Amino acid sequence: MFTKELTALFLRDLGRLSRELSAYENENDLWIVERQINNSAGNLAIHLIGNLNHFIGHGIGGSDYVRDRSFEFEGTGVPRKRMLEQIAEVKVMIEKSLSNLTAQDLEEKFPIPVFDEPISTRAFLLHLFGHLSYHLGQINYHRRLLTQLS
């Protein structure tokens, strides 16, 4: 039951991420870093895609994804269309990866070391969902702030 509900939440917010990126009137605005905003919407989106592919796709699903965390925060110019395609791919990956988890899997230590102490897969999946929601809010605020400035 937990994985079904969590999957639905991930899919919902990844859909929201796609809508937020699509709502930028000017695609170049995705890459603006203004005032005290440290990360552009484009970098946050790339970061979320990399984070979920690494921890869920690779860590749980066993994919061969190799994360480039520095590019997530330093790379620019990824076309919006490509990011939207990647988000669609992440949605499929999440459905596939989480559907195979058993109740026992959820209680076991997450397979990739993430913090200074072990964390259950269930707890880390909740952390990942919170992480997605947090950055989704930042992207929404970034877009609305830039709209107000123009």
Question: For 46-94, what is each residue's pLDDT tens digit?
Answer: 999 999 999 999 999 999 999 999 999 999 999 999 999 999 999 999 9
DSSP of 21-79: HHH-SSGGGGG---TT--S-HHHHHHHHHHHHIIIIIITTT-------HHHHHH-----
Residue the block writes with tokens 């988000």: 87
**Which pair of tokens denotes residue 132?**
């997605």
**Does residue 106 carry a pLDDT above 70?**
yes
Position 147 scores a pLDDT of 79
Query: By percentage, how much of the chain surpasses pLDDT 70?
Result: 99
CA-to-CA distance for 68 and 57, rounded, in angstroms? 14
- In percent, the amount of the chain with pLDDT more than 90 equals 89
Q: Determine the Cα–Cα distance for residues 84 and 15; give it in Å rounded to an integer.
A: 10
Domain boundaries, the chain: 2-149
Does 150 score more than 90 pLDDT?
no
What are 111's two structure tokens?
Answer: 């397979």
Degrees to nearest 5, angle at CA 85 with 79 and 90: 125
Q: pLDDT per residue over 25-37, tens digit each?
A: 999 999 999 777 8
As a whole number of angstroms, the distance between CA 3 and CA 72 comes to 27
pTM of the model: 0.95
Name residue 109's beta-bridge partners: 120
Q: What is the CATH number of domain 2-149?
A: 1.20.120.450
